[in-house]
Amino acid sequence: MKYEMVAGFETHIELATNTKIFCSCTTKFGGDPNTHCCPICIGLPGTLPKLNKQVIKYAIMAGLATNCEIANISKMDRKNYCYPDLPKAYQISQYDKPLCEHGYVQLSSGKKIRLTRIHIEEDAGKLIHKRGDTYVDYNRGGVPLIEIVSEPDISSVDEAKEYVERLQQIMRFIGISDCKMQEGSMRCDVNISVRPVGSDKLGTRTEIKNMNSITFIGRAMEYEFQRQVDLIESGGQVEQQTLRYDDVTNTTSSMRGKEDANDYRYFRDPDLVTISVTDEEIDDLRKLIPELPFEKAERYIDEFGMNEKDARNLSKYRRIAEFFEEASDGVKTPKTVANFIIGQIFRRLETEDDKEKFDVAITAQQLKELVMLIDNGKIRNNLAKSTLEKMLDTGKSAGDFISESDMAGMDEGMLNDLCSRAVESNPKAVADYKAGKIKALKSMVGFVMKESRGKADASLAEAKILEILG
Amino acid sequence: MVTHDDVIAIARLSKLYIPEEELDSMTKAMDDIIKFADTINNASEEGVEFDNINNLSNAFREDEVVESFDRDEILCNANDIDEGHFLVRKRV
Amino acid sequence: MESRIKHYNNMLKNREITCTELTEKYLSSIESDNKDLNAYVTVTADAAMEAAKKTDEKISRGEEISLLEGIPMTLKDNISTKGIETTCCSKILEGYKPIYNATVWETLKTQGAVLLGKTNMDEFAMGSSSETSYFGGAANPHNINHVAGGSSGGVASAVGGNIAVYGLGSDTGGSIRQPASFCGIVGLKPTYGAVSRFGLIAYASSFDQIGPITTTVEDSAIVFDAVSAYDKMDSTSQGRKGAPTVDTLKNDIKGMKIGIAREYLEGVRDEVRVCIEKACEVYKSLGAEIVYFDLPALKYALPVYYILACAEASSNLGRYDGIRYGYRTDAYKDVNEMICKTRSEGFGDEVKRRIMLGTYVLSAGYYDAYYKKAQNLRGSIVNAFKNAFKCCDVILAPTVPMTAFEKGNAISDPIETYLTDICTVPVNIAGLPGVSIPCGFGENGLPIGMQLIGNTFCESTILNAAWQYENAVGSEVFRPSQYGIKL
């Protein structure tokens, strides 16, 4: 029998606010243990939470960018469970009235992964286990999170990866999170079950907790899918449980212990008041949502005739897309701009992180000036390329490297002279050509290009030489 | 009727140990209290939705950083600390 | 009845006494009388003398001092005081010294208040006699074989015994008004949101309010005016609405409508009922009108209160795990066992019972039948009071159905004890202001109190009505105890 995967995601994303969700401590990553703490975020008796306004804004923006309905009225609830990383023994979260509901993320295939909800909550601290001792650091405690819950609409590892990538891109694009999986600012729990292809019944699911890399998500899902299929094939049954993925052995294992007798006893947090958002406020936030990467990619393909891969590469990061759009605004050949970025500039941005930051020496305007020189026939591509390298090294403009004479271009007389010399001084090439070696023509054009130091138009030169050769 | 098992389950959620010898008395006490609480279910009325006292909404804070506390202060009431962390040492 | 705060303020201003002398007097009376009263659990003599000296310097420089400057006072042990042990009278918080001040203490400290020490209470404010305190109960200054009441028993004992001029307590289901009633003094539970809760160690967050315990109504108004300000640290804070309550304190009350809800008089002792009836006569003679009505919603007030307050408490008290502060057990296998043992050894029986009840009513399968239902009935009670205030300005009711219990009687049967809160909890359920003032004495010579309840943020009205009553009968219903310093 053939089986298919049924998977849903719970994705936690740390919001890029300056301060924690309920106190004014910084959210900066790292820092010495327990140095980003105050009485509120370590839960000292008598302290009270005060909600950070920016958290509401960012969460609503996340909802708007994923096609959610935004609740005009919502509230905060307490999720009670006792664990040393949770200083109040309850997490302030949202239970039955989340800020955002009923959204979706569309994959490149056109398939929509439905989102059940997006709610806000606080992150927990960090536990370090050493030689059986437990060390607790609350720097991360109280950092604002959104939890994005999807429907079980994902049916392959590729869809899962694309879903996570798209979420990551959207959240980065709207500027509400850096979504750095390796730093834990984006973490995924995956619910996964299998069923015979064609069946519409859901199987028993397992939940793989806390995954912080797209590669591992893929491997873990592949492993878990196969484990469940094997189990069923051999007459066994999948047990509903929470799993941990071990990236060294590439296996999943049960996490029982932490979750024994989970009963979170949710109730409304009496220390916090109702959250009320008007339609006007939602509309104002909607205006802050930029064109999203996939929308941009589609437009690049339509408007500039770009191929899909280039379009995606250019639209993936907001700074790059904005740089591209500014540099290509008004130029004749946006594709040239795209090629320069994808070719020469990307070579200098090794990691995804570098691309996200997009720390380059020149401005979009400087690149645009360079491309305009090509557009106006003042310089040739080769010269532009080498000039761009110099610009990227120094941050200087094209004009600093290209002289007036470089830009003078070639009038017809000069080209005619050069072409005549190319024929006169290369009798062997002429003979070869006449003997049928087409390639010999190239060496004469090469002569013209060399003599003109790249300023000549190769196709015009070729035509001229052919004319001379009769 | 509250049973021993109920009391044990509730105690586990409450992170409390009820010693064997106190199980009877705690079960009885819980049963009495729950019976007392049960009287609300005699109320003929359904009641009305309760939001929050004074029906307040939108008490927000601006997203401005205030310097955190000195770590020495943060840790000063802890039983055990090490390397700037709160610490629970392994015991036998 | 003369305001004690004003009396001392005048003496200080007229240089009849120095603040240092006044503070010394109070400290030495604590030294001699606290053995009997067990009102204080921590005495902060050095800090008090230091604050007193500052006030004296200010006076000697000829600077103005505010009404509360240099007045020796106390705080219930659940109000956070930086660097001063704040234990909620629980073993689990033994040795805990907050690293920040509660907003109310910050406010009073800034005004030059002289803190004598922290006062006794039922453990985590759960109780009606202060006997669930880890440090033993506080005694009633009128008869030390009787309790001072609870949970703010220590403040009431200290103020009733005049080993503090005034104090701040907290009231979740009657914890200011009941001990004030037992000790023959004045206790004001403000409107929910009038006084900041920041720094008040939570019992039940949607019920808790801090308020003054004083010997006179005027003192109550003075202290309330000082601490009732909006606080950005408390999302539920609104501060006082309108002018200071002292401005209208002495207005006449001709035409004021005083309501009597029959339900409040059911099951109270005869001697208490008689006092209320007498008070009605006094009010009539002052030109007020008495109106009678029913408040059937009160029938479920007690179970509603215990379900909701315990639910919140079970969550609020989850944080005592021995990791960041407070008591930690010695022997354990792993972190989870450390937490469970710490809590089992650190909490007293009443606290455990309430945590268990709270956990039960929130747990899967019981939430709707208990928590949700109680929350809806809370809504009904809120509405019932709203309607009641359409036909009256204040509601007059007993504070407690009886006088102070003998020591040891309160904790023998928890449910019996819960029932004594019948007259005080409705005010907390509805978030209303209520003030208890002395109105007579029982056969045993112990004080009886009555309660004036107002609409939300109408502290001015109830304090006005309370002051008029006190002014009319004051010395008949107030007797100083044998303790403390004499005026």
pLDDT tens column, A217-229: 999 999 999 999 9
Does residue C338 belong to any structural domain of this protein?
no
pLDDT category of residue A89 using cuts at 50, 70 and 90: very high
Paired tokens of C379: 């809504």
Select which of C3, C175, C237, C314 is catalytic: C175
pLDDT for position C338: 96
C150, C178 contact by CB (below 8 A): yes
Q: What is the mean pLDDT of chain A?
A: 90
- Is C76 in the active site? yes
Q: Is C260 helix (H, G, I), strand (E, B) or coil?
A: strand
pLDDT at position A453 over 80: no
Instruction: Tell me which chain C residues have a C-beta less than 8 angstroms from the C-beta of B40.
Output: 300, 303-304, 307, 370, 373-374, 377
Spell out which residues of chain C touch residue A271, defining contact as CB-CB under 8 Å. 202, 205, 235-236
Q: Strand, helix or coil at A312?
A: helix
What is the mean predicted confidence (pLDDT) over C20-36?
Answer: 97
Give me the domain span that covers residue C443: 4-295+380-477
- Structure token digits, residue C45: 């003599």
For residue B17, tell me if it sits in a domain: yes
Report the pLDDT averaged over residues A263-278. 97
pLDDT band at A370 (very low <50, low <70, confident <90, very high): confident
- Dump pLDDT digits (tens) for A118-153: 999 999 999 999 988 999 999 999 999 999 999 999
Q: Are C301 and C425 in contact (CB under 8 A)?
A: yes
Q: What is the mean pLDDT of residues B7-18?
A: 96
Of C215, C210, C213, C242, nearest to C227 by C-alpha is: C210
- Rounded distance between C-alpha atoms, residue A56 and residue B14, angstroms: 32
pLDDT at C50: 97
Give the per-residue pLDDT at A273.
Answer: 97
Q: Which residue has the higher pLDDT, A345 or A47?
A: A47
d(CA C193, CA B25): 39
Decide if B64 is inside a domain.
no
Distance CA A98, CA A101 (A): 7
Question: Is the peptide bond between C151 and the residue preceding it cis, with omega within 30 degrees of 0?
Answer: yes
By the 8 A CB rule, do B49 and C373 touch?
no
Supply C106's token pair: 């910050």
Residue C375 lies inside a defined structural domain of this protein: no
Does residue C52 contact residue C165 with C-beta atoms inside 8 Å? no
Tally of structural domains, chain B:
1
Partners of chain A (3+ Cβ pairs below 8 A): B, C
The 10s digit of each residue's pLDDT in A288-326 is 999 998 889 989 898 888 888 889 888 888 889 999 989
Shortest CB distance from A43 goes to which of C80, C232, C319? C319
Residues A215-251, buried b or exposed e (16+ Cβ, 10 A)? Answer: ebbbbbbebbbebbbeebeeeeebeeebbebeeeeee
Query: Considering the domain boundaries, does residue B29 fall inside one?
Result: yes
Whether residue A80 and residue C88 make contact (CB cut-off 8 A), yes or no, is: no
Min Cα distance C478 → chain B (Å) is: 35
- Which of C461, C21, C410, C33 is CA-nearest to residue C259? C461
| Angstroms from A204 CA to nearest CA on chain B | 26
Helices C349-362 and B23-38: crossing angle, nearest 10°?
Answer: 50
**Residues 6+ away with beta carbon under 8 Å from A413:** none
**Average pLDDT, integer, range C21-48:** 98
How many domains is chain C partitioned into structurally?
1
Pair C34, C79: CB distance under 8 Å:
no
All residues of chain B having their beta carbon less than 8 Å from the beta carbon of residue C328 are: 79-80
Which residues of C are less than 8 Å from A273 in CB distance? 235-236
Helices and strands in chain C, H and E counts: 15, 13
Give the mutation candidate from B66, B79, B86 for the C interface (greatest C CB count, under 10 A).
B79
> CA–CA separation, A81 vs C317, rounded Å?
12
Q: Is residue C321 part of a domain?
A: no
Chain A partners of B60 at a C-beta cutoff of 8 Å? 50-53, 56
Please answer whether residues A457 and A383 qualify as being in contact, where contact means their C-beta atoms are separated by less than 8 angstroms. no
Q: Is residue B37 part of a domain?
A: yes
Residue B73 sits at the chain C interface (C-beta within 8 Å): yes
Please give the pLDDT value at position C474: 79
Catalytic, out of C128, C151, C220, C481: C151
Residue C355 pLDDT > 80 = yes
Instruction: Name the band, by pLDDT with cuts 50, 70 and 90, for residue C408.
Output: confident
Any domain includes B57: no
Q: Which residues of C touch A84 (CB under 8 A)?
A: 321, 323, 335, 339
pLDDT value for B92: 67
Interchain contact, B26 vs C356, CB within 8 Å:
yes
Residue C374: inside a domain: no
Residue C366 lies in a domain: no
B37 touches chain C (CB under 8 A): yes
Q: What is the DSSP string of C186-203?
A: EEEEPPTTTS--TTBPPS
Which range marks the domain in which residue B16 is found? 4-42
The structure tokens listed for A111 are 């398939």
Residue A259: per-residue pLDDT: 45
State whether C206 and B80 contact (CB < 8 Å). Answer: no
C369 interface with B at CB cutoff 8 Å: yes
Per residue in C146-172, pLDDT (tens digit) is 999 989 999 999 999 999 999 999 999
> Which run of H or of E encompasses C469?
helix C459-477
What strands, in cross-sheet order, belong to the sheet with A77-80? A90-93, A77-80, A267-268
Inside any domain, residue B59 = no
Would you place residue A405 in the very low, low, confident or very high pLDDT band (cuts 50, 70, 90)? low
> Quick check: B48 and C383 CB within 8 A?
yes
- Which pLDDT value is given to residue A263? 92
Residue C53 annotated among the catalytic residues of the structure: no
Residue C128 lies in a domain: yes
What pLDDT band is residue A407 in, cutting at 50, 70 and 90? low
Task: Report pLDDT for A362.
Answer: 86
Give counts: helices (H), strands (E), chain A: 17, 17
- Region A161-175 average pLDDT: 94
Torsion of CA C9, C15, C19, C22, to 10 degrees: -80
Nearest to A288 by CA among A173, A211, A124: A173
**Predicted local distance difference test score (pLDDT) of residue A462:** 84
Stretch A270-274: mean pLDDT, rounded?
98
B54, part of any domain: no
- For C75-134, the pLDDT digits (tens) are 999 999 999 999 999 999 999 999 999 999 999 999 999 999 999 999 999 999 999 999
Read off the amino acid at residue A404.
E
Q: Is C203 on the interface with A (CB under 8 A)?
A: no
Complete domains list, chain A, with CATH: 3-286 (no CATH), 293-407 (no CATH), 412-469 (1.10.10.410)
Percentage with pLDDT > 70 across chain C:
99
Q: C372 in contact with B at a CB cutoff of 8 Å?
A: no
Q: Is A411 helix (H, G, I), strand (E, B) or coil?
A: coil
Q: Which of A373-387, A432-446, C207-221, C360-374 has the lowest mean pLDDT?
A: A373-387
C330 inside domain: no
Catalytic-role residue among C76, C118, C189, C407: C76
Give C210's strand partners: C170
Question: Which chain B residues touch C332 with a CB distance below 8 Å?
Answer: 91
What pLDDT shows up at residue C404?
Answer: 95
**pLDDT tens digits for range A175-212:** 999 999 988 899 999 999 999 998 888 889 999 998 98
Does any domain span residue C326? no
Cβ–Cβ contact B44 with C under 8 A: no
Reported confidence tier of residue C418, pLDDT bands at 50, 70, 90: confident
Task: pLDDT band for A6, please (50, 70, 90 cuts).
Answer: very high
pLDDT one-digit tens code per residue, B41-75:
888 777 898 989 999 999 999 999 999 999 999 99
Contact A48 C233 (CB under 8 A): yes
CATH number at residue C100: 3.90.1300.10
C-alpha A147/C-alpha A358 separation (Å) is: 28
Active site residue C314: no
Q: What is the pLDDT of residues C167-215, one digit of tens each?
A: 999 999 999 999 999 999 999 999 999 999 999 999 999 999 999 999 9
Nearest residue to A179 (alpha-carbon basis) of A35, A62, A67: A62
Q: How confident is the model at residue C462 (pLDDT cuts 50, 70, 90)?
A: very high
